[in-house]
Amino acid sequence: MKEINELNFKDDLRYSDDHEWAKQTDGVARIGISDYAQNQLGDIVFVELPEVGDEFEKGQEFGTVESVKAVSELYMPVGGEITAVNEALEDAPELVNNDPYSGGWMVEVKLQDPAEYGELKDQKAYLEMLKG
């Protein structure tokens, strides 16, 4: 496992306490798990995601990530309707390990309340939380 200072935390993303990240563009947020989360999980072997059209409240479980070590729930950092699912993860779940912020994104959500996005942590606040 890597140390926190060896991990990548992008400054144009927002982060949840549950280690999901979100990036908003025109009222739609792309969501995945942070480099910290994938590092803690280890080699990811399966990702279970919702269907396009499913709706979730902020904090609601929307899927799972299975690694060789554990199964971990995914929690919605913002509420809304799923508009896209990264289908590449079906055949290549390791994309989450290799590239959690680009190829390893999980879902896109049409925001039901754009203010929720602003409540997520910025890079600095997320790092402070991780360092305790």
Q: Are 81 and 28 in contact (CB under 8 A)?
A: no
Q: What is the reported pTM?
A: 0.95
Write down the architecture of domain 4-131 according to CATH. Beta Barrel (2.40)
> In the prediction, which pLDDT does 73 show?
98
Mean pLDDT by 10 residues, the chain (132 residues): 92 98 97 97 98 98 96 98 98 97 98 96 97 91
**DSSP letters for 22-47:** EEEETTEEEEEE-HHHHHHH-SEEEE
Break the chain into its structural domains and give their ranges. 4-131
Q: What is the pLDDT of residue 1?
A: 86
Q: Which residues of 90-99 are buried (b: 16+ CB within 10 A; e: fewer)?
A: eeebbbbbee
How many other C-beta atoms are found inside a 10 Å radius of the C-beta of residue 75? Answer: 18
Helix ranges restricted to H, the chain: 35-41, 88-91, 95-98, 114-118, 123-131
Q: Report angle CA 6, 29, 80 to the nearest 5 degrees.
A: 130
- Sheet with 71-75: list strands edge to edge: 44-48, 61-67, 71-75
